[in-house]
Amino acid sequence: MTFGTRLAKAVAERGALCVGIDPHPGLLAEWGLPQDVSGLERFALTCVEAFGGHVSLVKPQSAFFEAYGSKGVAVLERVIAGLRDADTLVLVDAKRGDIGSTMAAYAAAYLTEGSPLAGDAVTVSPFLGFGSLDPAIEAARAHGRGVFVLARTSNPEGAGVQGALLPDGRTVAQSIVDGAAEANAGAEPLGDVGLVIGATLAELDVDLSALNGPVLAPGFGAQGGTTADLRRLFGAELRGVLPTTSRDVLRHGPGTAPLRAAALRVRAEVS
């Protein structure tokens, strides 16, 4: 079963919300946890217990685990395994991007069956050229997984690169959208190549009409994005849009029940 098919099935059953697991040092402190691997592990596995089986997609932020070295990466591996055991799709937010054999190695790590770091999808960066992502897209298809490509992010620094004009008159961001659309052409019900587009943009300055794939919309909740923003940017139906929240839900820890209740409230809000 393709990632697009599995994602559509999960959204139909559990709504479109994606919840992030971001073990930020500030959140560990708020939860009363030590800022070491033991605190990281308690934080992350509490989130697995709270969200697994209750939302469509969970997005662990790889950097917060990598900050603790190999032991932190081992915790990330446990998070991925725990969520998959709970029949919950896992998007590893690693934002990898390179060329040739290096990109192929990233793809092997995050998209290949048998790798302990392989979730159901991974975030990737296309700014070495969309074609540099070919090894990741090929690996994703071969193993029933997906990729989410950075396209139009809402950080102020992103606009200068993503809005730059190419010789053919398109913006860089639109060229990324078009590359994803080409990769998804003909897929049913959704393609396996998604995009990352910020939920707090002032306006949507790319054309998504041909995308035929999912859109991860970070920035919902604590970063200021609202349901009205989502509908303004992506249309009233929000087909294929995955609103993403992290701290707005995670601040309700450390109890499992309050975390789950917060996630379900937000899930209902964006449904």
How confident is the model over 15-74, as pLDDT tens digits?
999 999 999 999 999 999 999 999 999 999 999 999 999 999 999 999 999 999 999 999
* Residue 2, CA atoms < 13 Å, CB-side half-sphere: 16
Give the DSSP per-residue string, 44-79: HHHHHHHHTTTSSEEEEBHHHHHTTHHHHHHHHHHH
pLDDT per position as a tens digit, 165-192: 999 999 999 999 999 999 999 999 999 9
Binning pLDDT at 50, 70 and 90, where does residue 222 land? low
Look at the block and give the residue holding tokens 């992010």: 153
Question: Could you give the count of Cα atoms lying within 13 Å of 121 in the half-sphere of its Cβ?
Answer: 29
What's the pLDDT score for residue 236? Answer: 77
Q: 95 catalytic, yes or no?
A: yes
- Report how far apart, in Å, the C-alpha atoms of 111 and of each of 139, 223, 254 are: 6, 29, 31
Asked if pLDDT for residue 195 goes beyond 70, the answer is yes
What 8-state DSSP symbol labels residue 171?
Answer: B
Average pLDDT in the chain: 96
Domain limits of the chain?
3-270
Give yes or no for a contact between 151 and 173, defined as CB atoms under 8 angstroms apart: yes
- State the pLDDT at residue 73: 98
| Average pLDDT for 151-155 | 94
Among candidate residues 9, 59, 71, 95, the one labeled active-site is 95
Superfamily name and number for 3-270 = Aldolase class I (3.20.20.70)
